[in-house]
Structure 1
């Protein structure tokens, strides 16, 4: 008997902010299971703002074309196996996109070891705090920006999946941490739940640069940027001498047909600023060590990872689009009908 699986594919290349019509659900027959293969039923799928960059152009990975499966990280369970590395019932994670189920040779599929992803740590952490978003925050703060105790660290999109973790990583290193977020509720969350000293609601500030200057009167030593555009320019005007900028994302720019570009370029000279873009895979050899430290923080309560779980595979496009409207608070995940 042939099994089928639904998947979300790109219907058309987005022009500006993505629309539901840019995505199409397709039902496909799963190929027969052969020796060395496994079948995985997904339980959770991530939606990530950086995917929009791949939907519209070549970035650090080739552009996705219409008809190809939309990117996303998954947690699932092995339902059939002819691979000695995997047993039925194994919990696994993979990065093969918005699919209900898939057949794999096992390459790129990682088993979730219960010593890491067992109580009190949820398996969802594999696509959250101990996955790409959490590790991006960790390596951006520690590896790229090299934040040091006592320094002032400013984080944009501070209530998002990466930003909220970056806030806590910097705090755990002994930094003075300030966030930028897009609502009063989000700003309150960043201070009360995540431990930032302050958080600027940029929607209430006619002059974001002036707001940063008031909140960080001694200057910003490290800016962890997830937004780009005007937010980046405002931060550059407030950097301290020798300040470092880690570019994690550009959520305000992904949907622009023409990138806006940086305008405060002279500040790099005036303030001796260093700005570095990165992707988490640059630090792959250090993943195990980073995950161990972050897991320890989670167990001790020093790292709280916020999730926003949306039920229903059919809701993946709407959940993704909502990221660009500022709807999310933390990591946004899709729970499939088979999810825990």
Structure 2
């Protein structure tokens, strides 16, 4: 029986296959899978989003806007209105929320709600783990994330992320550069990648976008760009935001992907995309769920510091690129993830 699902993204980031953030890419993947499967997908997301289903657009802040408390409060207001209107207009079976601030626009009792916890549990308000709203279900995207949740938190089984394997293809010949890409912010640790590539004597490309949060723009302008523009050492460039087509080319051509995150990552879509492209991943061992994705010595290396990352960059040519692609096919397909979500939707609806 076809379902009508209301997908609710983060209020300040557009959804689509070209989205910078992993959360937005997951929402896009689910929207596409639902539509392709004959279900009705309704997506609440900012203007500028791209959807296969029906976009219920909320006003987007200007590109140069500072994302302060006032901007966030305004975005929450627009999301609450859009969700309320959707519930009035459409026969929605389930609301699926993805934002770290979902509790600010969670609708009142009625339609069942599923919440995907995409970020470290410490990023969420403590009360989200003891919500009193009936028929409201939470789940994690990795075992590492689940272990970090508060004791006694009631969670459905984990649903690991996946990527559209058909978008990524290995390239027979690699180029010499290392690659780092994603959201530009202090916790992603791109300055570690710059130092590691310099020590390894390897060119580095950094791609991504700093959103309008003060800490993010300051990190880009005062930390990352000065490092990238410093004289001496191997070539290094900041590419800024890139679309899907260019990301595919870069991931396929890179000698390796660097994931120098300084926080407990709950997953890593870009690491999965790199493996699907036949590109090994070098990540900090303490970066949360990366050890659930990278098989040390087979599909990449897990390292403890910048010196070890530099050494791993030099050793990456020993790895089998075909093994990276096989790992992605076996473990990280979007089809598997979408099927798990559909089964979870039906499980939630049966429990109603």
Q: Give TM-score scaled by structure 1 length.
A: 0.35
Q: Higher relative contact order by CA 8 Å / sep ≥ 6: 1 or 2?
A: 1
Q: Which has the higher strand share?
A: 1
